[in-house]
Amino acid sequence: MVPIYGLQKTTLLDYSPHLASTIFFGQCNLRCPYCQNYELITPDSTLGTISPEEIFSHLRKRKHLLEGVCISGGEPTRYKGLPEFIRKIKELGYLVKLDTNGTNPSMLAELMDKHLIDYVAMDIKNSREQYGKTVGLPGMPLSAIEDSVSLLTNSDLSYEFRTTLVKEFHTEDDLLAIGEWLQGDSSYYLQNFRDSDTVHEKQLHSFTHEELLRFLQILLPYLPNTKIRGNF
């Protein structure tokens, strides 16, 4: 069982425009150097775990206030019991958003087929050519990522793709390649890297406002629903 390492009891950001709680599952199969939640992803994390009973007690108490639950991580699709866990959340009347890196398309397909999720936010780490380097796993095969992209783009489910931009990993050519890869009507968000004490690799840098706007202009011909998210 993958442990639950965190619970944000109330958020307006993780599942906007819904007032939600966010549940953070531990462990991840990627090692992105710029990850904001690096303390969640390693098996030897020193963070304390939260029991499912505590999660459901919170959700039952707040069900007349909250609208949704965001399932995040780490990478939650590594948890084999995820469908049953989400089913219990849905029984309480909540909308459910899944944050995923897209590496487990079979789990994603199961959640979609069983109508257990209402929204998916899938990370697109970089262009195909730079993917392995960007996630800390050079030579990583992309078949699972591409299968997850195809599942979402060919479904009726609400979803978004998103990329966290880091100066050391992303170039204009990469953004052009992403646009050519994903081109269509998908919602796509650019998120600027934010440094913090929890980021594993130090000396990484964000982009300027002007650079982000340049990336936006590169992408709009391919992905007209591209937006910049957050402060920059």
Mean predicted confidence (pLDDT) in 10-20: 96
- pLDDT of residue 45 exceeding 80, the answer is no
pLDDT score, position 2: 58
Closest C-alpha among 51, 49, 92, 52 to residue 69: 92
Mean predicted confidence (pLDDT) in 144-154: 98
List, for residues 178-206, the tens digit of each pLDDT value: 999 999 999 999 999 988 877 878 889 99
- pLDDT of residue 11 exceeding 90, the answer is yes
Residues 33, 35, 40, 42, Cα dihedral to 10°: -20
pLDDT score, position 195: 85
Contact between 62 and 9 under an 8 Å Cβ cutoff? The reply is yes
List, for residues 85-122, the tens digit of each pLDDT value: 999 999 999 999 999 999 999 999 999 999 999 999 99
- pLDDT of residue 159 exceeding 90, the answer is yes
Q: What is the share, in percent, of the chain residues with pLDDT greater than 90?
A: 85
> How confident is residue 37, by pLDDT bands cut at 50, 70 and 90?
confident
The vertex-222 CA angle with 75 and 174, nearest 5°, equals: 60
Question: Structural domain of residue 218, as residue ranges?
Answer: 4-229
Instruction: List the CATH number of the domain containing 85.
Output: 3.20.20.70
157 or 37, which is more confident: 157
pLDDT score, position 1: 57
Q: How many domains does the chain have?
A: 1
pLDDT score, position 232: 52
Instruction: Look up residue 10 and give its amino acid.
Output: T
The mean predicted confidence, pLDDT, of the chain is 94
- pLDDT of residue 231 exceeding 70, the answer is no
pLDDT score, position 44: 58
